[in-house]
Amino acid sequence: MKIWKKHYTLQQMNELGKSCAVAHLGINFSQQGDDWLEATMPVDHRTTQPMGLLHGGISTALAETVASMAGFCCVAENQFVVGSEINASHLRPVKAGSVTARAYPIRLGKTTQVWQIDIKDQQDKLCCCSRLTLLIMNQ
The predicted model scores a pTM of 0.97
Instruction: Report yes or no on 83 lying in a domain.
Output: yes
Give 72's pLDDT tier (boundaries 50, 70, 90).
Answer: very high
pLDDT at residue 2 in the model: 85
Instruction: Report yes or no on 51 lying in a domain.
Output: yes
Instruction: Report yes or no on 2 lying in a domain.
Output: no
Say yes or no to pLDDT of 1 above 80. Answer: no
Domain hosting residue 73, numbered range = 10-138
Read off the CATH number of the domain in which 49 is found: 3.10.129.10
Residues 6+ apart with CB under 8 A from 139: 78, 79, 80
For the chain, the farthest-separated pair of C-alpha atoms sits apart, in whole angstroms, at 44
Instruction: Report yes or no on 1 lying in a domain.
Output: no
Instruction: Report yes or no on 91 lying in a domain.
Output: yes
The per-residue pLDDT for range 81-95, each reduced to its tens digit, is: 999 999 999 999 999
Instruction: Report yes or no on 5 lying in a domain.
Output: no
- One of 15, 38, 64, 77 is an active-site residue; which one? 64
Q: Is 77 a catalytic residue?
A: no
Instruction: Report yes or no on 48 lying in a domain.
Output: yes
Instruction: Report yes or no on 36 lying in a domain.
Output: yes
Residues 6+ apart with CB under 8 A from 119: 59, 62, 63, 99, 100, 101, 126, 127, 128, 129, 130
Mean pLDDT of the chain: 97
Give 77's pLDDT tier (boundaries 50, 70, 90).
Answer: very high
Number of separate domains in the chain: 1
Give 135's pLDDT tier (boundaries 50, 70, 90).
Answer: very high
What is the bridge-based pairing of β-strands 37-43 and 79-90?
Answer: unpaired
pLDDT (mean) for 97-107: 98
The per-residue pLDDT for range 11-63, each reduced to its tens digit, is: 999 999 999 999 999 999 999 999 999 999 999 999 999 999 999 999 999 99
